[in-house]
Structure 1
């Protein structure tokens, strides 16, 4: 039993320290320092400012060249003077903390090539603070100075990328992914026919003919004009991306007379680009499908009692909405009239419909099956459970998984390295060994094609997004690729008992009167129990003989991990567990025997006591969820050790753990002790997970490598703070998450191995003289398509 603490009634209480507020004499200032761009300057500044009296905290951002200082100085002038003394010219950044966040939709940004180009253009621009890319949704979230937006849009336009402002990143409506660019297939048809005709004429004529060059140029400019434009922009911005490399390779092939090959290379590249974009749309549609779950309109009761269909976005809180059989529910709410069965699979992944009646919650996007009912709206369209799920999935897509970060870093080194090798291949053999220039340049052009890291880079985000979307469909909300990928390493899983392994709705099973009158003792216990929201207290309250006789309680206080106390009729009473009674010094050998017997039966003993004696003994038992044993068995089969942490006594913990097959149980665990247990596991084992459903589990959930929140549907805090949120109370989603994580990791490994293997093979074939340019393009873009399709397999799971 837990809640707020107080010592007004003389109860034991836990001290809670309030965090120090910024307003208590502290100020915050941000400086932009143009000549601070490496750890050397950071160390110099940290040493100088750290010795200034009144400087509380320094936060460096070397990428943005900003320094945030929290201080207690009368004015920030000493900071500027100290920085100037070490040669650092600091300019006050008026952006922070009053900056602006804008979401831009960029229809032509759908692969890392465009991301790299945009990042190189915008990073370092005045007023640009942070960039957050979401390639699947084709959005760029910017943190910037308000006056910087026009120049940002102009910079994007100079890259050939039109951007549309979609709104703020936080607190706005859920916006659909940017619509894909419509493909005009006629230029591609002309390009393919012309490239093929150029090859035929070349072989028919036995060599070069003016018609070969004419057909090749027609193929190149009908199918590859967009590639040339993008390549020119990239080179102008000193960016060796895929379009720049392909433009150089095709131009080089034409200059050395390889017209048919140049035409075929450009056609195959442009065709593969289109097919790849269409394939990526499948991953985007997985998120678009979530957005389409909630209907755009709702039938709302008007002030005069009539019903009118209105847009769901315009419906206010506490409005009454009517739902007919077969309709999708438009908004979150609470039923006020009627009953039905509702298919909640889109939110929770439950396989069977759920019975709903008055006072039961309903969620946007779920399907009303049999009956008709009316419900009161409890969340606006932008804040429904479905909207929060979509926001969480979108945010998770933007985060980089470990493998993706490795691939991005590798690609940044790989492309310039291969370009340097290609340049050396073109120059060194003819100059040093007398090789022909044509052969050397041709090999260099083949290497330029191989230098495109597209297959490698695109494989990870598609796989991660597919995994996140597949999990969301099953009612598993994963808050980032780092958790999806990291779940495969889970070695030990700590689980809370109440509400996680058990239903969390215990019932009173036993009562024993120790002192006084039975009705009076029950009445006093009910008075304290009704003031607590703990399930054990609620069980005692439900078992009260006469609800109308429940007394008033003064100075009520909850004692975390122990129980509650309060004053009734000028007398202080305690209602709590074995630990509380022991701390009050009221245990006896006879009482200990009775408690031991109950606890060995898996029951929780609760006692009513005054300051001097125990008046009554209550026993409460919780029932184990039907799926808990199966879930634990599946976890063990996956090689995960299980540990149960509960505030109940050790005997009850052992009894419940034995029922479901958990490896180890620890009782009498206060919130801080659960945290200590998780920390000790982190020191001893690999990846540690924690599963819980209550506020008292929050510290341990936050400290674990992966925190799992149970029954998160409709719960703002769980969705926003958990690493993984299980939308219903089915523990079997835990092994499902682990299997998905392991499958995702396997596909990532396959894609990386395949992409790098293709590169290695063609680099070797290039130096042996067996690789041609069109073969390199076909293999490279074919590899891109294969890794995309391999990643999309997760959507079928």
Structure 2
């Protein structure tokens, strides 16, 4: 890029940037290694900082040499109750370096220095965690997929048992209501049956928790039910256990809706595809077995099974699952297609460019699942609060049970009952589950709209953005120069354009490509002239002989050197350059024949996006390597507040530092490759067109899967809604707890009312959080 700025008078230099950008988008894989070095060459951009941003956490732990990593799927790790139990049991174990929990995906990642993972598995088994090893040091366990199959049958059995227990508990209450005592034989038998069929697993979990000195909801509920039995409240004990089990079952179903918000994308890729064979025939094969380079045929209405590049035919493709675009995109030979998208019209063939496990859709799903494992700021606060809250309420319950009877001589049974109600209310499950459900719902909503957010921390931070820096080429503009003006000076326009296209066709410069492309349309298929003695004139243009006569195609400097520049030519050149366009002159040895204006056109969505950002109170600034005139012209056209041109990567980095110092939270929008230092330094880095480049998908904090800048205001509004729902959920959870704490102390609340309150609070925050899933539709 440095060479691009060595010649101040080379007006074509802006499009060398465009060429570089286009090449890197087309060959993203090739540049991954170069990008990695580019990020490390700048002192202000440290790799540790990038890692920290990637996982969305401030507590980055360096693993010791020789450490291994294992990943478990734990089907009964449903909420922070199980996480706390596992953490307490494993964290004190010798050789355990780090524990990472992903409750929404029911995954536990353990980094350790043990000789094998068996001791970890043994500990998990000892606390009744159904742990299945799914990955060890990056190697997948092929048997892991079959482990959860039995869960469907188990779920059905649990619902039948729960129904039987509910009937028994209701009958026990009815017998009491019509005149039986709480300790009458039919009432006790029905209550025992209800407790056994609905609460056995709760008692098992509660006993394990108490053995490990962990006051989770199962321990609290076991104590409460046992206490109710001791004081002779058999029907209420049964009803409490049934209601608690029912609340757990409904909560698990509700959480599965959040878990499946992203998993549903996996169903979008067909399992089989029609593949061309060596003998020319077509055969249906499993998509997972199809090799890169194979030719696949897709009929109208079918989903595309694998990523690839169109090799024959044309069609329009609905890319909404990948990019969130509502309008189908026209595809011709050479265009990319993505797994999971829908072929709308014509039949076509394409060459596979990625295996099923490495498709763009698969990488999106993987990235969002990883993002769910990183804790957002609100979630970290709530988790810390819950660790203090539960012991405090437990001590309060002990005080309520002991102080009035011992010091004031009040009845034991009354105050023991009040203490049991407090124990039920003490569960922080609704409070703790409110944040991950809300964050996951926001991540899912964004992914379905073509906005890939790498962690809850960025989802929460988006609403705080005060300034947004944007690269020009490929971000605000198309990244592809086109002919915008033709100023004929002498001769016939068609002939002059044909001469220009003849010379341009021999050059690989992007500006020459624009001239050639224009002639293909304007010339109606007319062939270009034969060129002999062709020569590239470095930094100035090209020359060659056509029909024995020399012609030149180049910039202002070339015409000056040929001494054929007139005042009329100067005036046209100045007008084009002042408008931020590159001027290309076609001339013979005596005079200029025409001046062609070439420009990188502004995206249709850019003006609206900038207007929406301003409406949200966000300052905008353009950072580009193009010349100052071009930068200011484009900025004025789209309404950007500030424009800075002639910037090297280190200059963009300095500009981001300046914006951070003056405005606080600053975003940077680029292609994820050229702008790596600035993207890494910014508070939130946005990569444009991430569906077209692996590097952008991997390096940015937020990846926009298409090239639509309007997704950024969408993201900011989603961030604002997420923050509002997080506050609502915390207020709901704490408010309901507080009301029932007061009611319990006053003696108004009963045990079953406390269970209803706990269940209601949990379901309220879950369903409130799930509203985000459809918020961007």
Q: TM-score, normalised by structure 2?
A: 0.81
- 1:130 is matched with 98
Distance (Å, rounded) in 2 between the aligned partners of 1:724 and 1:542:
34
Distance (Å, rounded) in 2 between the aligned partners of 1:790 and 1:705:
28
Residue correspondence of structure 1 range 279-318 to structure 2 within 5 A:
279-318=254-293
- 1:765 is matched with 743
Which residue, 621, 629, 632 being the options, matches 1:651? 629
Distance (Å, rounded) in 1 between the aligned partners of 2:628 and 2:567:
18
Distance (Å, rounded) in 1 between the aligned partners of 2:428 and 2:737:
9
2:127 equivalent to 1:159? yes
Distance (Å, rounded) in 2 between the aligned partners of 1:708 and 1:173:
35
- 1:623 is matched with 601
Distance (Å, rounded) in 1 between the aligned partners of 2:345 and 2:364:
26
2:173 equivalent to 1:205? no
Distance (Å, rounded) in 1 between the aligned partners of 2:124 and 2:237:
30
Aligned residues: 703
- Unmatched 5+ residue regions in structure 1? 23-60, 69-95, 557-562, 582-586, 609-615
Distance (Å, rounded) in 2 between the aligned partners of 1:130 and 1:103:
12
Distance (Å, rounded) in 2 between the aligned partners of 1:471 and 1:789:
18
How has the CA–CA distance of structure 1 residues 625 and 145 changed in structure 2, closer, same or farther, with 3 Å as cutoff? same
User: 1:527, 1:552 within 8 Å by CA — same for their partners in 2?
Assistant: no
Distance (Å, rounded) in 2 between the aligned partners of 1:18 and 1:394:
24
Which residue, 197, 201, 206 being the options, matches 1:226? 201
Which residue, 655, 667, 677 being the options, matches 1:689? 667
- 1:788 is matched with 766
- 1:455 is matched with 430
How has the CA–CA distance of structure 1 residues 194 and 549 changed in structure 2, closer, same or farther, with 3 Å as cutoff? farther
2:83 equivalent to 1:115? yes
Residue correspondence of structure 1 range 145-156 to structure 2 within 5 A:
145=113, 147-156=115-124
Residue correspondence of structure 1 range 325-404 to structure 2 within 5 A:
325-404=300-379
Residue correspondence of structure 1 range 465-484 to structure 2 within 5 A:
465-484=440-459
Which residue, 285, 295, 303 being the options, matches 1:320? 295
Residue correspondence of structure 1 range 257-656 to structure 2 within 5 A:
257-509=232-484, 530=508, 538-539=513-514, 597-604=575-582, 619-656=597-634
Distance (Å, rounded) in 2 between the aligned partners of 1:407 and 1:564:
63
Distance (Å, rounded) in 2 between the aligned partners of 1:260 and 1:549:
101
Distance (Å, rounded) in 1 between the aligned partners of 2:566 and 2:219:
84
Per-residue CA deviation, residues 270-318 of structure 1 (Å, 9 max, x unaligned), is 0000001111111122122111111111211222222211111111111
User: 1:190, 1:222 within 8 Å by CA — same for their partners in 2?
Assistant: yes
Residue correspondence of structure 1 range 625-774 to structure 2 within 5 A:
625-693=603-671, 695-774=673-752
Cα distance, 1:173 vs structure 2: 11
Per-residue CA deviation, residues 465-522 of structure 1 (Å, 9 max, x unaligned), is 11111111111111111111111111221122221122121224569999xxx99x97
Distance (Å, rounded) in 1 between the aligned partners of 2:193 and 2:182:
16
User: 1:128, 1:148 within 8 Å by CA — same for their partners in 2?
Assistant: no
How has the CA–CA distance of structure 1 residues 494 and 536 changed in structure 2, closer, same or farther, with 3 Å as cutoff? farther
Aligned residue for 2:101, secondary structure, equals: strand
Distance (Å, rounded) in 2 between the aligned partners of 1:406 and 1:334:
47
Aligned residue for 1:140, secondary structure, equals: strand
* Structure with higher helix content: 2
Cα distance, 1:20 vs structure 2: 13
How has the CA–CA distance of structure 1 residues 304 and 761 changed in structure 2, closer, same or farther, with 3 Å as cutoff? same
2:122 equivalent to 1:144? no
Distance (Å, rounded) in 1 between the aligned partners of 2:305 and 2:311:
16
Distance (Å, rounded) in 2 between the aligned partners of 1:336 and 1:693:
26
Distance (Å, rounded) in 2 between the aligned partners of 1:171 and 1:384:
19
- 1:103 is matched with 71
- 1:50 is matched with none
Aligned residue for 1:507, secondary structure, equals: strand
Aligned residue for 2:269, secondary structure, equals: coil
User: 1:173, 1:381 within 8 Å by CA — same for their partners in 2?
Assistant: no
How has the CA–CA distance of structure 1 residues 553 and 622 changed in structure 2, closer, same or farther, with 3 Å as cutoff? closer
Aligned residue for 2:109, secondary structure, equals: strand
Aligned residue for 2:93, secondary structure, equals: coil
Aligned residue for 2:250, secondary structure, equals: helix
Residue correspondence of structure 1 range 38-53 to structure 2 within 5 A:
none
Distance (Å, rounded) in 1 between the aligned partners of 2:245 and 2:174:
21
Distance (Å, rounded) in 2 between the aligned partners of 1:509 and 1:167:
55
User: 2:672, 2:695 within 8 Å by CA — same for their partners in 1?
Assistant: no
- Unmatched 5+ residue regions in structure 2? 8-12, 14-33, 41-56, 490-495, 520-527, 545-551, 560-564, 587-593
Distance (Å, rounded) in 1 between the aligned partners of 2:697 and 2:96:
30
Q: Which has the higher contact order (CA 8 A, sep 6+)?
A: 2
Per-residue CA deviation, residues 119-164 of structure 1 (Å, 9 max, x unaligned), is 2222233343332222222222233347331121111111112222
How has the CA–CA distance of structure 1 residues 380 and 553 changed in structure 2, closer, same or farther, with 3 Å as cutoff? farther
Cα distance, 1:432 vs structure 2: 2.2
Residue correspondence of structure 1 range 171-186 to structure 2 within 5 A:
182-184=155-157, 185-186=159-160
Distance (Å, rounded) in 1 between the aligned partners of 2:340 and 2:79:
31
Aligned residue for 1:498, secondary structure, equals: helix
Tell me whether 662-671 or 202-211 shows the greater mean CA deviation. Answer: 202-211
